[in-house]
Amino acid sequence: MTASDAPREPFRAFRLREDGHGGELAEIGLSDLAEGDVVIRAEYSSVNYKDALAGTGKGKIARTLPLVGGIDVAGTVASAAGGELSPGDRVLVTGCGLSEVHDGGYAEYVRVPAEWVIPLPPGMSTFEAMALGTAGFTAGLALMRLEENGQRPELGPMVVTGASGGVGSLAIDILDGQGYEVVAVSGKADARDYLGALGASRVVGRESISTRGRPLEKSVWGGAVDSVGDGMLAELLRTTVSWGSIASIGLAGGDELDTTVMPFILRGVSLLGITSANCPRERRLRVWEKLAADWKPRHLDSIVTRTVDLDGMQPVFEEMLAGGVRGRTVVRIAGGG
C-alpha cells in the first residue's frame, strides 16, 4: 500500500456494540478490522433484513462483538497482497460472513480475504452493485437453481411472495424479463401499482394463498420464489404443477413447514434451498455476470427507493423490521461511480 492509497485514519464505521444492543457510528483504524488480503475503499453498501436485525440488536446476527455491520459492500481496491487484484480495481463483496464473523461493509475501509472479492462485472457500477446487493444476488441465485432444475415459463405462472421487499422486487423484475408470467403476493394494498410496474401480471393478497388444505390441491402455479415459509410455503407445495420448482429464500412467516411427501412423489415438485452467504465462488461469479447482462433488472431506479448515509440508517432499520420498507435502500459511504 502506497502512502497515497493508505486509509485516512481514523475513518468512519457503523459498529455493532459489544453489549449486543444495536450499533453506532464510531471512528476506527485499519488495526481494528478483521484480517484479510484485500483492503477496499468502500463507496456503497445496502440495507438488508439481516442488517436491520443486527443494527437494532433485535436479532442475533453477529457471532462476535464488537463488529462492523453491513453484509454488502462495493468500492475500489486500496491494496491487495498478491493475487489477481490490483489497487484501483472495482469490486464487490456480499455475504461471506460479513457482519456475522467478520467486519462488514458499513465502513469507509473494509478488509477481507481475497477469495471473497468479486471483480465488478463490465457494465455495472458500484451503485448498481449495491442496489442489487445480497437481495439481487439471492434472486439471481434462485433463478439459476430453478432453471438448472428445469423451470421454464411454459410450466405456468411464477409466484413471488414477500413481493414488495428487496428480494421480491428484484425477482419480479428479473423473472418478467426472462419471459415468465409473474404473480406477486403482498399484504400491502398500496404496493399494487409498484409491483405491476416491475412486471407482475397480477398482485394477490396473502390470504388467497396461505390456507391449510389437503395434501394436494389443484395445480395452479408453475413454481415460486418464496421468502415467507411456514403455511405459505406449504400451500405453494400443494398447488404447484408437476415438475415445477420452488426456491425457498426466507422465513418471514415462520421457520416451520407442515407438509407431506405427496407433492414430491406424486407430482415431482422440487423444493430448492437458496443460501447466498456461503455460495461457492464459481457460482457466485456466474450469478454476478448474469446480473450485469441479460438478468440485469430494468427498473432499478424504481426499486431503489432511497439512498442514505452511514448516519441515516437507524430509521431504515426500524422501518424495515416494522414491514414498512419497499424495495431497496442503498447506503452511500463515499462518492462512487
Here the cell at position 163 is 413481493
Residue 192 lies in a domain: yes
Average pLDDT, the chain: 94
**From start to end of 121-191, where are the E strands?**
158-160, 182-185
Considering 231, 258, 273, which residue would you say is the last residue of a domain?
Answer: 273
Question: Which residue did the predictor score with more confidence, 8 or 271?
Answer: 271
**Which tens digits make up the pLDDT trace of 141-172?**
999 999 999 999 999 999 999 999 999 999 99
111 and 221, same domain (yes or no): no
β partners of residue 75: 42, 91
Here the cell at position 41 is 475503499
140 and 113, same domain (yes or no): no
Residue 304 lies in a domain: yes
157 and 261, same domain (yes or no): yes
Specify the number of domains making up the chain: 2
Note the pLDDT of residue 242: 98
177 and 258, same domain (yes or no): yes
Residue 138 lies in a domain: yes
Considering 238, 257, 273, which residue would you say is the last residue of a domain?
Answer: 273
The set of residues, in sequence order, having a beta carbon less than 8 Å from that of 119 and lying 6+ positions away, is: 85, 89, 90, 91
For the ranges 177-181, 253-257, 285-289, the lowest mean pLDDT is seen at 253-257
Considering 223, 257, 273, which residue would you say is the last residue of a domain?
Answer: 273
306: domain CATH number? 3.90.180.10
Residue 290 lies in a domain: no
Is the predicted pLDDT of residue 226 greater than 60, yes or no?
yes
Q: Assign residue 269 a region: left if phi > 0, alpha if psi is -120 to 50, beta otherwise?
A: beta
User: Using 50, 70 and 90 to split pLDDT, how confident is the model at 3?
Assistant: very low
187 and 90, same domain (yes or no): no
Note the pLDDT of residue 6: 66
User: Using 50, 70 and 90 to split pLDDT, how confident is the model at 311?
Assistant: very high
β partners of residue 185: 204
224 and 104, same domain (yes or no): no
16 and 48, same domain (yes or no): yes
**Which tens digits make up the pLDDT trace of 93-129?**
999 999 999 999 999 999 999 999 999 999 999 999 9
Residue 281 lies in a domain: no
Here the cell at position 32 is 481494528
**In which domain, by residue range, is 222 found?**
134-273
Residue 287 lies in a domain: no
205: domain CATH number? 3.40.50.720
150 and 267, same domain (yes or no): yes
Eight-state DSSP code of residue 145: H
**From start to end of the chain, where are the E strands?**
11-16, 23-28, 38-47, 67-68, 72-80, 90-94, 109-112, 118-119, 158-160, 182-185, 202-204, 221-226, 240-248, 270-273, 304-309, 328-332
Instruction: Answer whether 92's CB lies under 8 Å from 134's CB.
Output: no
The set of residues, in sequence order, having a beta carbon less than 8 Å from that of 304 and lying 6+ positions away, is: 131, 327, 328, 329, 330
- Helix, strand, coil shares of the chain, percent, nearest 5, are 30, 25, 40
155 and 257, same domain (yes or no): yes
305 and 227, same domain (yes or no): no
114 and 138, same domain (yes or no): no
Residue 227 lies in a domain: yes
Instruction: Answer whether 75's CB lies under 8 Å from 336's CB.
Output: yes
Note the pLDDT of residue 189: 84
181 and 83, same domain (yes or no): no
Residue 288 lies in a domain: no
